[in-house]
């Protein structure tokens, strides 16, 4: 009986334990299921929250625009500069050689055709490699994720951005085919040197379309994707080649190439890479682009700007200035300079704004305002001619005192009676002041405005000595009426602006400021300014053809100028320092005159010799004729 009771208790205990076990499993199962459901809901809520902030893929793809490319070309059709991100023609993967997409997938996303936008295996592999290395050595992003980031998201490194990137990657995989995604990537990825997309990179680095790249070139393009600056073949060809070797090995590992094919690609891998573009014409390009918006309004399309720049004259001017500002010029404190060369109608043929554009982009030919000194005197003498004076009129070179102002000559001496043409040729200050006093400061300021000086001038006798500041470009342009017969001009650099499909947005239709001087007075000025170069302060600039010009030196040798012209060109040269520090005895008749002569000699190479407007210099007299005239008084 007792045994039976004991057995019964054991059975009941076992049943109770079983019931408790069942209740325990049910408890954990039901609670675990609840937690799982809550996790799904919470995770779904988080994903939903981030999904709400995602852009509309269709709208973004349709509205994605790039910065317009502005190509500035010289008068011979050569490129001076391209401004803006360079996007090549959109090319489908199917139109590319198989090696290019293969190289990209081998090094960037080997499982591209296997994943759904996110590659868990690749992510885990990258994480493990980073943990082992103790730093980030691999990225786990797929090509689809990179498309999502490049097209729709900012480059910020945050958890929320990575979540949106992953969601967009899955979304893109549903919206597009693999080929379309790879095409998007290859046409939008940044590849260094301002290029976006394989086509722009192939054109920039190899001078050919991406359709025609070799296996080695394809591998080099793919290698850029990791670090476009570090592996840029233009700036570091050795690093680019080392990276290309890594890509070729990855292509072997992925089965896209055999070892023999990889070695063959390397053996033919001495690719020709275009060099980094020099600074030729960059000051000019900056000046041109600054005026573009005023001609055509907001820029929305890729544009080609055809300009007046003569590449030969420009290159010569840059070389001459750089050469002149070395050696002795450095010892004498001349650190900077500028040159501008115009056609008589105002077309800018060369513009150099400083000795080195890479070091300083400040354009001294256009932006700097300096005292021109005696280079301003031609406008004083033109005003005198308009007031009735003649080149042969005599004035006294003697001390001047006008209300306590006592201007002196550069030489510190006086020569007594002197003709106006000799006074201008020898840059005698006292005579210039007397001419200015007779013509009147207001008349001189008016004359300067007529010939193209736009900077406000102080209407006082200081104008006679060039104390009002001007820019090199406007001072040079103001000499153009002496070259072209009296017509004031506006310097211009743009001939036309067209879109890539040939639509003309702007075309120059002539223009200028009209007649600024009487042809008779122009002839007289040409006579006077020619003498400056034959026997005056400008002898250092003398050419082998009719020419005229004027030197200028400001106080304490802070600025030295030479501005002159022929019937073909008008050119101006300035030498000085940015901070206005004085030089050691450099005058306009020295270094600037020599630079001007060298630039003009090259500019006129092969050009026919023509007379200046309104005046033909007398033919040289032989020694017998001179003797006979002296003997007979004839």
User: Are the CB atoms for 467 and 553 separated by under 8 Å?
Assistant: no
Residues 144 and 166: their CA atoms lie apart, in Å, by 9
Higher per-residue pLDDT: 289 or 34: 289
Residue 343 designated active-site:
no
User: Are the CB atoms for 81 and 277 separated by under 8 Å?
Assistant: yes
pLDDT tens digits, 55-84: 454 444 444 445 677 889 999 988 888 777
Residue 263 designated active-site:
no
pLDDT value for 135: 46
In the predicted model, is pLDDT for residue 511 greater than 60? yes
User: Are the CB atoms for 573 and 364 separated by under 8 Å?
Assistant: no
pLDDT band for position 167 (cuts 50, 70, 90): confident
pLDDT tens digits, 576-619: 999 889 999 999 999 999 999 999 999 999 999 999 987 666 55
Tokens for 521? 């007075």
Average pLDDT over residues 312-324: 95
pLDDT value for 137: 41
User: Are the CB atoms for 152 and 55 separated by under 8 Å?
Assistant: yes
Residue of 193, 316, 374, 567 with catalytic role = 374
In the predicted model, is pLDDT for residue 3 greater than 60? no
Residue of 108, 165, 173, 199 with catalytic role = 108
Three-state SS at 137:
coil
In the predicted model, is pLDDT for residue 626 greater than 70? no
Higher per-residue pLDDT: 139 or 125: 125
pLDDT value for 9: 58
Number of H helices, E strands in the chain: 23, 16
pLDDT band for position 196 (cuts 50, 70, 90): confident
Mean pLDDT over the full length of the chain: 82
| CA-angle at 254, arms to 248 and 259, nearest 5° | 50
pLDDT value for 269: 60
pTM for this structure?
0.68
In the predicted model, is pLDDT for residue 92 greater than 90? no
Cα–chain center distance at 599: 23
User: Are the CB atoms for 99 and 331 separated by under 8 Å?
Assistant: no
pLDDT band for position 358 (cuts 50, 70, 90): confident
pLDDT value for 60: 44
Which among 157, 220, 148, 129 is positioned nearest to 188, based on CA atoms?
148
Three-state SS at 250:
helix
Higher per-residue pLDDT: 108 or 171: 108
pLDDT value for 129: 52
């Amino acid at each position: 009986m007792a045994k039976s009771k004991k057995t019964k208790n054991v059975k009941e205990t076992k049943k109770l334990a079983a019931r408790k076990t069942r209740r325990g499993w049910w408890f954990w199962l039901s609670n675990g299921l609840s937690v799982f459901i809550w996790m799904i809901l919470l995770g779904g809520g988080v994903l939903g929250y981030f999904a709400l902030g995602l852009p509309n893929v269709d709208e973004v793809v349709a509205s994605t625009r790039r910065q317009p490319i502005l190509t500035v070309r010289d008068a011979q059709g050569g490129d001076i500069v391209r401004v803006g991100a360079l996007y090549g023609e959109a090319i489908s993967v199917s139109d590319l050689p198989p090696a290019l997409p293969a190289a990209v997938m081998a090094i960037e996303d080997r499982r591209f055709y296997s994943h759904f936008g996110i590659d868990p295996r690749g992510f885990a592999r990258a994480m493990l490699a980073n943990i082992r290395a103790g730093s980030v050595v691999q990225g786990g992003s797929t090509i689809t994720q990179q498309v999502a980031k490049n097209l729709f998201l900012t480059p910020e490194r945050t958890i929320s951005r990575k979540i949106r990137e992953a969601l967009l990657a899955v979304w893109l995989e549903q919206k597009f085919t693999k080929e379309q995604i790879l095409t998007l990537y290859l046409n939008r990825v940044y590849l260094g040197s301002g290029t976006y997309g394989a086509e722009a990179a192939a054109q920039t680095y190899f001078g050919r379309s991406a359709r025609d790249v070799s296996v080695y070139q394809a591998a080099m393009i793919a290698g850029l994707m990791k670090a476009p600056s570090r592996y840029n073949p233009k700036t570091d060809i050795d690093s680019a080649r080392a990276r290309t070797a890594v890509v070729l090995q990855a292509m072997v590992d992925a089965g896209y190439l055999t070892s023999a094919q990889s070695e063959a690609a390397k053996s033919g891998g001495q690719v020709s890479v275009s060099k980094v573009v020099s600074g030729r014409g960059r000051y000019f390009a900056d000046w041109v682009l600054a005026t573009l918006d005023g001609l055509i309004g907001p820029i929305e399309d890729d544009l080609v700007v055809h300009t007046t720049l003569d590449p030969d004259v420009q290159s010569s001017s840059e070389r001459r200035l750089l050469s002149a500002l070395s050696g002795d010029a450095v010892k004498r404190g001349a650190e900077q300079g500028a040159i501008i060369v115009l056609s008589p109608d105002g077309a800018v043929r060369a513009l150099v704004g400083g000795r080195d554009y890479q070091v300083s982009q400040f354009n001294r030919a256009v932006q700097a305002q300096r005292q021109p000194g005696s280079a301003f005197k031609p406008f004083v003498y033109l005003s005198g001619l308009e007031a009735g004076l003649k080149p042969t009129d005599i004035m006294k070179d003697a001390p001047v005192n006008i209300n306590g102002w006592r201007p002196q000559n550069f030489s510190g001496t006086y020569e007594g009676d002197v003709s106006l043409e000799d006074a201008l040729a020898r840059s005698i200050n006292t005579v210039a002041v007397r001419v200015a006093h007779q013509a009147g400061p207001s008349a001189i300021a008016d004359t300067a405005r007529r010939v193209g000086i736009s900077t406000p001038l102080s209407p006082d006798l200081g104008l006679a000595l060039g104390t009002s500041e001007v820019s090199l470009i406007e001072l040079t342009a103001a000499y153009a009426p002496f070259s072209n017969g009296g017509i004031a001009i506006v310097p211009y650099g743009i001939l036309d602006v067209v879109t890539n499909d040939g639509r003309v947005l702007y075309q120059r239709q002539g223009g200028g400021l009209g007649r600024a001087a009487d042809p008779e007075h122009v002839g007289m000025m040409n006579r006077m300014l020619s003498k400056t170069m034959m026997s005056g302060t400008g002898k250092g600039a003398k050419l082998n053809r009719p020419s005229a010009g004027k030197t200028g030196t400001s106080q304490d040798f802070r600025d030295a100028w030479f501005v002159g012209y022929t019937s073909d060109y008008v050119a101006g040269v300035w030498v000085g320092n940015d901070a206005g520090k004085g030089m050691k005895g450099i005058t306009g008749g020295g270094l600037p005159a020599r630079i001007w002569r060298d630039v003009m000699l090259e500019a006129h190479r092969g050009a026919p010799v023509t007379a200046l407007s309104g005046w033909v210099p007398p033919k040289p007299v032989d020694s017998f004729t001179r003797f006979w005239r002296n003997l007979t008084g004839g």
